[in-house]
Amino acid sequence: MSKAIVISDIFPLYKEPSLQSELCDELLYGMSAEVLSEEPNGFVRIRTYYHYEGYALPNGLLNSEEQARHWQDTPKWTVWFPYLDIKTKPTVQSRNITSCPRGSLLGVLGYEIIGDGYIKVGLADGRTGFVRRPCIAPQTVSWSKTDDSIRAKLVRTAKMYLGVQYRWGGKSPLGIDCSGLTSMAYMLHGILIYRDADIRPEFGMREIPFENKQPGDLIFYKGHTVMYIGNNEIIHATAHPTAEGVVINSFDPFSPVYRGDLLQKVVKTGSIF
């Protein structure tokens, strides 16, 4: 078992060690993982830092204990822009070193605003570059149940993905699935929940009565999950025939986006509060 860092923009994980297998998750730039084993066909078995497992080709993975430890100790900021270019110089005209989606992690090398509104950042492989300051924010590594604003933050973050296409196993603004949406909305605020559409007690989410739900809580179905956002509305990533991608639906029969089928098929409701 060895530690590794993702150095590609989006690093796909598969359910089985084959490109014909279904996608089960995506790691994003700068995220850490453990390589559990090597498969005979070149795939490796991966465990993410949020305890999800899958198979991947090692391209785009920096498998170095020393660099992984250094990266772990490096102060990092989170990319909040949908898709962000890292530049060679602090100007809009300069060449791109690489690009990465919302949720990626970059090292902090300075706080001074330079050039065209840029700050200097470090990449996981040791290179340096520049990004626009408004596009990133300090990494949230903890949260508090006494923070009354966290529910509103979760809802607001989920809404940032509105209109993103549905992608089975995806969790970036280029494509996202139902549990990818909910887990990313939580992860961006320093809260780790189970990656799939279920409640796992080891992640701190507990089952609550459906009628007690509040904004930011999750509603679970067989193979699907949504976030309750208040006023009888939910946000979710769906491939339903009536919609595509991340949309808002309602439990109100008088709403033009009513989904009575979802209201009738609730399996459980979960909350971290």
Distance CA 40, CA 240 (A): 38
Distance CA 23, CA 18 (A): 10
Side-chain-facing half-sphere of 179: CA atoms under 13 Å: 19
Catalytic residue among 24, 100, 135, 236: 236
Catalytic residue among 100, 189, 224, 240: 224
Query: What's the longest Cα–Cα distance across the chain?
Result: 58
Distance CA 230, CA 228 (A): 6
224 is catalytic: yes
CB 41: neighbour CB atoms within 10 A? 10
240 is catalytic: no
70 is catalytic: no
Distance CA 194, CA 198 (A): 7
Q: What is the DSSP letter of 114?
A: B
Residue 23 in tokens: 């996608």
CB 256: neighbour CB atoms within 10 A? 6
Q: Is the dihedral of CA 254, 260, 266, 271 positive or negative?
A: negative
Catalytic residue among 24, 100, 135, 178: 178
Beta strand 10-14 with 23-28: parallel, antiparallel or unpaired? antiparallel
Residues known to be catalytic: 178, 224, 236
